[in-house]
Amino acid sequence: MGSDNNKGQATDWTQGIRALGWCAQKDALGGSRYRIVITDLLMLPRSVEKLELLQASPETYARSLSEAAIIGLNNYSSQVVQLLTPKEFATIGAIIARLLPESREGLFDALPDAAEIELIERPSVAKAPNPIDEDHDPIEIGDDDPYLQAVRHSIEEDEMGGVLFVGVPATGKTWYARQVARKLTSDNRQRIREIQFHPSYQYEDFVEGYVPDAQAGFRLAPKHLLEMIEEANKTDEPVVMIIDEFSRTDPARVLGEALTYMDGPMRGVPFYLPSGRKIAIPKNLVFLATMNPDDRSVDDIDDAMDRRWGKVTLEPSADKVREFLKKNGADGAFIAATIQFFQTVQKHAPLGHALFRRVKDAPSLTRLWDTQLKYQMHKRFRFDPAGLTEIETLWAECKAALQPTAPKTGPGAAAESEQIAAE
């Protein structure tokens, strides 16, 4: 009954259902003009939008109201004066009674049939596991961590839509994204969601899509983005979505309309999804993602997507390799030879430090080469035989340096070993 749109008499309330009543009489006045008499008018305390009816009970809406005049998703005719069936009218009343409990008694008095409508409850669905819940490591970064500071600057000051952790494999991108997310949320896992993109990932997996339902056949279900928007709307604190392997699909296709509205200046601006659902991305929803810059699909990320993301680059670190080796009990000579190999290889092909986290001696380093590094290098240099030969030569030199030799003795031997480890 009336709205702030451009049809009929202007009102001071927003578009939606503002009152319910019965059409008692309709008299033709000539041409396209009629006089309509409404009785038993029940004014609601506020307007109820069509989207609210859908969200209150999606299954009831899909079964009983999708074709309803004015209300239904599939109704495209003029929204001036139309007729509802008695069941549609009663169903609308029943849903409004749920949305506005203070009006329930009046609604059921005016629409007795509404009290008999049983709204279909959404069946409980087991939630997909959240990988972040399996992260039992302590938070190891402090408030002054440079990557954490970079994320905060990108989000709060530069108003980026999200932050990408960029680096070759095994540089700790996912680990850092999790650490930053836990730091931002004070380690509240309820406010963190981690997902992974892959080549078959779709808009329907990320925003909303139809899922099988034993009762309704299929129902429209909110997916990760809408669920995290709902979580963010419950609090003023940061809520974080981690997207691992961001470039393994077409991100612009997966994000859809959210690509525009994730941008900092567009946060909080309402927009419509293809289903008719009206949403807005709140400012406190933080997007963190990881990406390998050498992925072939990175070249397909368009400028509109690229400019909405701040970048934090994680480089291969010899210090991290040294830290792993010391923690694993490696001796000084072994550490020196391994670090030399690691640093020299970087000049030819970037190699992530996390690959060395289990290395402790010559046999474990050899296994790393035989089971991983060798195949990575063959793939990277498949069109560069000379480059591959150089890498294999570097490995042979490293392996030769690790061959057992007669141990040094004397007062300076221990000091020399400690010096090699430090270097």
With helix as H, strand as E and coil as C, how does the chain read? CCECCCCCCECCCCCCEEEEEEEEEEEEEECCEEEEEEEEEEEEEEEECHHHHHHHCHHHHHHHHCCCCCCCCCCCCCCCCCCCCHHHHHHHHHHHHHHCHHHHHHHHHHCHHHHHCCCCCCCCCCCCCCHHHHCCCCCCCCCCCHHHHHHHHHHHHCCCCEEEEECCCCCCHHHHHHHHHHHHCCCCHHHEEEEECCCCCCHHHHCEEEEEECCCEEEEEECHHHHHHHHHCCCCCCEEEEEECHHHCCHHHHHCCHHHHCCHHHCCCCEECCCCCEECCCCCEEEEEEECCCCHHHHHCCHHHHCCEEEEECCCCHHHHHHHHHHCCCCHHHHHHHHHHHHHHHCCCCCCHHHHCCCCCHHHHHHHHHHHHHHHHHHHCCCCHHHHHHHHHHHHHHHHHCCCCCCCCCCCHHHHHHHHHHC
* 405 residue type, one letter: T
| Strands 162-166 and 309-313, bridge-based pairing | parallel
Give pLDDT, residue 11.
63
Give the rounded distance of the alpha carbon of 2 from its chain centre: 39
Average pLDDT across the chain, whole number: 86
Which tokens is 250 given?
């077409």
Q: Using 50 as the pLDDT threshold, list the residues of the chain that sit under it.
A: 1-2, 124, 405-418, 420-421
User: If phi over 0 gives left and psi between -120 and 50 gives alpha, with beta otherwise, what is residue 217?
Assistant: left
Distance CA 336, CA 322 (A): 9
Give pLDDT, residue 237.
95
| Strands 162-166 and 33-48, bridge-based pairing | unpaired
This prediction has a pTM of 0.67
Count CA atoms closer than 13 A to 205's CA, side-chain side: 15
Give pLDDT, residue 267.
96
Question: Exposed, middle or buried, 139 (CB in 10 Å: 0-12/13-18/19+)?
Answer: middle
Give pLDDT, residue 409.
46
pLDDT tens-place string over residues 192-231? 999 999 999 999 999 999 888 766 678 888 999 999 999 9
Which tokens is 176 given?
């850092």
pLDDT tens-place string over residues 34-55? 888 888 888 888 888 887 888 7
Give pLDDT, residue 75.
55
Decide: 350 and 316 in contact? Cβ < 8 Å.
Answer: yes
